Amino acid sequence: MFVGTGSDVGKSVLNAAFCRILLQDGYTPAPFKAQNMSLNSFSTPEGGEMGRAQAVQAEACGILPHTDMNPVLLKPSTDQTAQVILNGQPVGNRSAREYFRQDNTTQLFPQALAAFRRLEAKYNPIVLEGAGSISELNLKDRDFTNMRMAREVGAATYLVADIDRGGVFASVYGSVLLLPEEERECLKGIIINKFRGDVSLFAEGRELLQQLTGIPVVGVIPFFRDIHIEQEDSLELKTKNTTAGVGKINIAVVLLQRMSNFTDFNVLEQDGRFHLYFTTEAAEIRKADIIILPGTKSTIADLKHLHSSGAAEAIIQARKEGKKIIGICGGYQMMGMRVEDPDHLEGPEAEVEGLKILPLVSVMRNKKVVCQNRFHFKRYAGWCEGYQIHMGETVLVQGNGKFSPLNTTEDRTPEGYWADDCCWGSYMHGILDNTVVLNDLAAGFGEWDESTFDYKTFRQQQYGLLAEQVRQAVDMEYIYSTLKI
């Protein structure tokens, strides 16, 4: 199990690394995170919803994702409320006070443990991931994701610390010291992550940490930028480009306040034809060749913000100028004439004006659509893959002719809307991961030839590079000695 001194210390990536290492070494690993809080989610083949990070880790294990790998998922919808997903299905919205103060976590722990036991019966070993810090004392009695889970399942537990953010000695020592003795005994080692420069220079630091905590430092992992693994934490967005570039096709993703599944756009950072950036600044939106409206957990609130900030006007003007405008999931809903919420699922407004780019109306419904799809994109031959996670349905406004679907799924269901070669919308997350869609996106920009870039192959290569980097940086012999496999 990998736990952390805080959020964004690299637990998810390390988990993926060890998933691939264990697979390479002949084992049948599977990932597990009891509770995840993230707007990046994924659909399993069975139609359940889980954290995207655990789906990535499952891919590193060479297995299909399953909701048992992340039995509890919290999807924030406002600063104080979140949708609770249990075993892949939504069970309601809760405020932080309701979730943490009304014994919800006590009721959820048995569910999470049962999911772990189901996984344990099929795979060996299970690679667990903690959440945030192990030493949040005010939440300690309600935290079932970190040391409580480690003790319950007997996990050999490793504390991960990010040296790049500074204060690594205090964060490690404080995290260990604040644990009760029975939890401290679970810790088998410390891993220092994101070290810049000559790792040998930290030799004295390793000794000092062991003297302070009584726990060995089993690895110092270099900071790397040339290995690309999907991140789950929204803090990752702070490292992204925010302005247009020169010499490539500029793609602006509108940075919505409740943007979900920002990993939809990772592929654009790896395809050399595109310069990807995230912005809500009208001036930067105007510089884009292609504008993408992404998914969101709060379509109406984010749509209202676009109107008030001036971003909506910039997007509408770009459409008039013939620039490519694309909407995915909530962004697709925003492109219509209006968004209706008759049951007030998202807030007090029953109806909000859309961007009026597409002749559609979206109506919020209580039923959530969660599924994986194979589909044909536009009129291209060959199958594409993607997945849907959304509430609401989108239909043609009466009197606007025939519906023009973007995709046709394997069961011949029409999906999305195709206005013309410069404008379309879809509920399909992961649609850009398909080579045919990327080439269609680049079409019309003259100097850019079609690419054979295959994002799936690229991801597999990255897992291999990550495993090699981590394997060289940690004491694998020691780590294996602490496992019962």
Amino acid identity, residue 110? P
How many whole angstroms separate alpha carbon 278 and alpha carbon 418?
A: 24
- Cite the DSSP H helix spans in 418-454: 435-442
C-alpha of 240 from chain center: 15
CA-to-CA distance for 298 and 315, rounded, in angstroms? 19
- Alpha helix (H) residue ranges in 198-298: 203-213, 266-270, 282-287
Distance from C-alpha of 459 to C-alpha of 461, rounded to nearest angstrom: 5
Respond yes or no on whether the N-terminal peptide bond of residue 110 is cis (omega within 30° of 0).
no
**CATH annotation of 241-450:** 3.40.50.880
Q: Which residues of 225-245 are buried (b: 16+ CB within 10 A; e: fewer)?
A: eebbbbbbbbeeeeeebeebe
- Where does residue 186 fall: left (phi above 0), alpha (psi -120 to 50 degrees), or beta otherwise? alpha
Handedness of CA 242, 243, 249, 252 (dihedral sign): positive
Going from the C-alpha of 378 to that of each of 94, 178, 390, 439, the distances in angstroms are 40, 57, 22, 12
Q: Return the pLDDT at 98.
A: 65
Q: Where are the domains of the chain?
A: 2-229+461-481, 241-450
If you write DSSP's letter for every residue of 116-127 in order, what string do you get?
HHHHHTT-BSEE
Distance, CA of 206 to CA of 215 (rounded, Å): 10
Question: Using CB atoms within 10 A of its CB, is residue 214 exposed (0-12), middle (13-18) or buried (19+)?
Answer: exposed
Q: What is the distance between the alpha carbons of residues 340 and 351, in angstroms, rounded to a whole number? A: 4
Quote the pLDDT of residue 157: 98
Tens digits of pLDDT across the chain (485 residues): 999 999 999 999 999 999 999 999 999 999 999 999 988 999 999 999 999 999 999 999 999 999 999 999 999 877 778 889 999 999 887 776 666 565 556 688 999 999 999 999 999 999 999 999 999 988 888 889 999 999 999 999 999 999 999 999 999 999 999 999 999 999 999 999 999 999 999 999 999 999 999 999 999 999 998 999 987 666 677 778 899 999 999 999 999 999 999 999 999 999 999 999 999 999 999 999 999 999 999 999 999 999 999 999 999 999 999 999 999 999 999 999 999 999 998 888 899 999 999 999 999 998 899 999 999 999 999 999 999 999 999 999 987 778 899 999 999 999 999 999 999 999 999 999 999 999 999 999 987 778 889 999 999 999 999 999 999 999 999 999 999 88
Q: What does the pLDDT read at residue 266?
A: 94
Q: Which member of 19, 186, 329, 384 is catalytic? A: 329
Rounded to 10°, the helix 168-177/203-213 angle is 20
pLDDT confidence of residue 115: 98
Tally of CB atoms within 10 A around 89:
13
Pairing assessment for the beta strands 249-254 and 290-293 based on DSSP bridges: parallel
CA 256 to chain centre: 15
* 115: nearest Cα among 68, 172, 184: 68
For 2-229+461-481, CATH number out of 3.20.20.70, 3.30.420.280, 3.40.50.300, 3.40.50.12780 equals: 3.40.50.300
- 228 is annotated as an active-site residue: no
pTM: 0.92
Q: Please report, for residues 150, 174, 261, the alpha-carbon distance to residue 184 in angstroms, rounded to integers and kept in the order given.
A: 11, 12, 35
Residue 37 per-residue DSSP state? E
Tell me if domain 2-229+461-481 and domain 241-450 are identical in fold: yes
